[in-house]
Structure 1
C-alpha cells in the first residue's frame, strides 16, 4: 500500500510551469518527503507543453524531467498526468482546440494524433527514470464529455473507449512496461448517460483509479460523518464489480477533505477515518491525497473549497490532516517492517502488513448492461444501491459489490473470495 500526494506547487500553483524554479520545487518536495510519503502525482499543463498542434516544447519537457529527477533524489516515485486538461475548476486546453479552431477533443483525428504524440513524448523522456511509475492519461478528462461542462465535447461510450485505448497505447509506446492508466471523476460510476463508463475505469489501463470527493452530494445529503468517511472505500469496492481480473489493483488517486463540506476542525478526523476504511479494502495499490500544499490566496477565482486542501500550508508547515496522514503512513510501513504475523523481515525484503481479509458478502448491483451501465444512478448518493451499501458498512459489515450478471458465477465469486450474495432489497 502506497501513501502519496498530488503535488500542488506552493508558489504559483500549476502556473509554476510558466516561471519554473527548480529550487522552489526541491523545497516543496523536501516538505513532502519529510511526511514520510513515497510518491507524488504531477500535472504538466497541456497548453504550455503543446501550444501548437505540431509543437511540443523541449524546454517544458526538460523541466518535467528535472522535477521527476528531483523527486527521485528524495525517494519519491512519480506518476505523470499527461493532458491537463482540467484542474480545480479551471480548464487548460490549447488554443488550437477552441473558438475559431473548435474541434472535438476525443474524435477529431488531428487532435487525437497530437494528444497521442504528446503522451508518447513525455513517456519517452521519462522511460529510463527509475522513479517514474507511469502515465495517467489526464486528470478527469471525462468531464469534457458531457454535463455539467458548459461546452462539452459530446461522444458515445464506444468513442470514449476507443479514445482511451489510443491514449494508453501512446503511453505504452513511449515507456513500455510502466503502469499507465486513466482517471475519471465519479460521473463514470454515477451517471447512466455519461459516455465514460465503469467498465472503462475497471478494465482499461494497468489499474483502476477512483477519485473520491464528498462534495458530489454525499456531504450535502449525509453530513461529514460516517457515510462521508466511507465514501472512498465505497468507490474502491464499487469499481471492483466491473473488473475482469479479480486481482486488478485499485488506486485511490484523489481524495481530500473539502471545506465547508468537511469543517476544517474535522479535517484530521475525516482523513484518519477515510484512510482506515480504505485500508480495510483488499487490493488497494495506494492512497494519494489531494493535495500537497494549499493554494495561495493571492490567486483569484478558485472555488473556496480549493484553497485549503493541502496537507501543508504555502509556507510548507504541516497541518493537522498532514500529521494524521504521515502517521498512518508510518504505522503502515512499521507493520510491514515486521512482516506478516509479526515475523522479522529479512534485510531488503519486501515485507508487507497482512492484507485485509476478503470481503465475503457481496451486495448485488443491477445497473443494466455491463458495458454501458445505464442504470448506474442507483450508485450515486441517495441512490438505492448507495444507501444499501452504506447501511451494511455502517452496521459493522464489510460489503463487496457484484454485478447482477455475475451473482451466479461461481468461478468469479470464488476468485474474489465471495461466499454470500445479498440483494439490495434484502440488505439490512
Structure 2
C-alpha cells in the first residue's frame, strides 16, 4: 500500500474527445495535462480506442502506439503517472470494437481463438511500448468490458464464468509479458457485483490482477431510490470498496476506486461539489484504498453530437479547461495527502453464491442493511457467508463483530441523512 491514497482523473481530451487519436495534437494534450496537473493530482487513466489502434487483427498501428507513448511522456513532464486501458471497448454509451469482430466477421470477444490472439498481441504491444517509462503504472484490460458479456447489452458476446476466467488469465498474462512487474488489472461496471447472470464475477474482480477496481455510478438506482444527499448515494462508492473485500483472498488487497462521478440530473450541477466532497471523504474512510480516479477530466464539447446529456458535464474542468467547484474539492482532498484508514471491525454477511448477487444491489437486503448500519454510525465492511465463522480470516481483517442482514433493524432515518 502507498503511504498516501493516490488521486487522479480519467483523461477525456478537451479537443475531439477520444477521437483525438485520429488527429493527435500533442500541444492540445499538453495543455489538458497542464490543467490536470494544476489540481495537484498524481495520475491519469488514458483510453486508446481499440479499432483506431488495431483496425485489422494483424495490424497494430505504429503511429498510434507512438502517440500513446508521447502522451505518457508529456504526462511525466508534468509529474503525472499513467494507467492505460487497452480494449476500448465501451465509453460514454458508445461501443468501439474493430470490424474484424463484428457483422460479417462476427466472433465472440471472449472465446474465439483468433480474437483472443489479436487481443493478447495488442495488449502486449501497448504494455511493451511503455515498459521502460518510470511513470507507467500498468495496464487495465479495458473499460467495463463485462458490459459486452451479458444483457442489457443489445448484442452480447455470451460466455460462461469459466471462459471469462480463462480470458482474464490470458489477457493479464499478455500485459505482464509486455511490461513485467507493473500494476496490471481488469475493471468492470457494477453488474459484476449486482447482476446474478453476469459471467464476470466478484471473485474474479477481487482475486485476479494486482488490485481490485470498482466503478461507482449512482444512476444505477441508488440516487433514484434515495435522493442526491442520502446516505446510500453519498456512501455508494465506499460501499462498493467494502463489498469487494468480501471476495478477496488477500485480507489487505488494495482496492482502486477507478471511476466515480457526479451524474446530472440526479446530482444537479449546483450540488456536484457537495456530492464529490462527501463521496471522497467516505471512500477515504475505507482501509486499503489504493486511490481515487474521478470521472472525468474535461467536459465533452457541445460541438460533438449524440452523447447522453449527462456525459457533457461530467468533467472536473470545462472543455475550455476552466476548473469547476468539483475540481477544487478534489484538489483540496489530494493536497491533504490522506493516509490509510482504520480497520472496519463490523462485517455484514453477504452471499458467496454469484447467482445471489442481486441481494447486494440497490433495493436488495444486503444493500439496505449496509446503509442502515451506516445511518446508525457504524463503519461496516462485508464478509462472505462461507467465511463468517472463519476466525483466522476475521482476525486478519480486524473484524470483531459479524451481523446478518436480518439482524439489522430499520432505523428512523430509513437510511437517509436527516
Task: State the TM-score bracket (shorter-chain normalisation).
Answer: over 0.9
Q: Distance in 2 between matches of 1:97 and 1:120?
A: 19
Shift of 1:172: 0.2
Aligned length: 404
Task: Report the counterpart of residue 304 of structure 1 in structure 2.
Answer: 309
Tell whether the 8 Å contact from 1:38 to 1:75 is kept in structure 2 after alignment: yes
Q: State the 1:423 CA deviation.
A: 1.1
Report the equivalent of 1:9.
13
Of 196, 201, 213, 1:197 maps to 201
Residues of 2 paired with 1:203 and 1:236: CA distance?
Answer: 14
Which residue of the partner structure matches residue 325 of structure 1? 330
> What's the RMSD between the two structures over aligned residues?
0.7
Aligned partner of 2:300 among 287, 295, 301:
295
SS in 2 for 1:179: coil
* CA deviation string 1:53-99 (max 9, x = no partner): 00000000000000000001100000000110000000000001111
1:223 Cα deviation after fit? 1.1
Give the alignment partner of residue 363 of structure 1, picking from 344, 348, 352: 348
1:276: which partner in 2?
281
1:121-270 matches, within 5 Å, as 121-225=125-229, 226-270=231-275
Give the equivalent residue in structure 2 for 1:427: 408
Q: Within 5 A, what are the aligned runs for 1:97-116?
A: 97-116=101-120
Which residue number corresponds to residue 379 of structure 2?
398
Quote the Cα distance in structure 1 between the aligned partners of 2:351 and 2:118.
Answer: 39
The aligned residue for residue 416 of structure 1 is: 397
Residue equivalent to 1:350:
none
Deviation at 1:43, TM superposition (A): 0.2
3-state secondary structure, aligned to 2:45: strand
Question: SS of 1:210's equivalent?
Answer: strand
TM-score (norm 1): 0.94
Aligned-pair CA distance for 1:149: 0.5
Counterpart among 27, 39, 47 of residue 35 in structure 1: 39
Q: Secondary structure at the match of 1:374?
A: helix
**1:284, 1:110 → 2: CA distance?**
37
Tell me, in whole angstroms, the C-alpha distance in 1 between the residues paired with 2:23 and 2:375: 48
In structure 2, stretches of 5+ residues that fail to align are 410-418
Cα distance per residue 1:330-360 (max 9 Å; x no partner): 12x2x6xxxxxxxxxxxxxxxxx3x211101
Match of 1:347 in 2: none
CA offset at residue 403 of structure 1? Answer: 0.4
Deviation (angstroms), 1:414 = 0.5
Conservation of the 8 A alpha-carbon contact between 1:367 and 1:378: no
Deviation at 1:367, TM superposition (A): 4.1
1:356 is paired with a residue whose SS is coil
The gaps in structure 1 that reach 5 residues or longer are 336-352
Where 1:315 maps in the other structure, the secondary structure is: coil
Secondary structure of residue in 2 paired with 1:375? helix
**C-alpha separation in 2, matches of 1:28 and 1:325:** 17
Whole-angstrom distance in 2 between the partners of 1:297 and 1:378 = 39
Q: Could you tell me which of 370, 379, 382 is aligned with 1:389?
A: 370
Residue 374 (structure 1) aligned with residue 379 (structure 2): no
The reply to whether residue 59 of structure 1 matches residue 63 of structure 2 is yes
Q: Secondary structure at the match of 1:411?
A: helix
Shift of 1:112: 0.5
Partner of 1:342: none
Structure-1 separation of matches of 2:285 and 2:373:
14
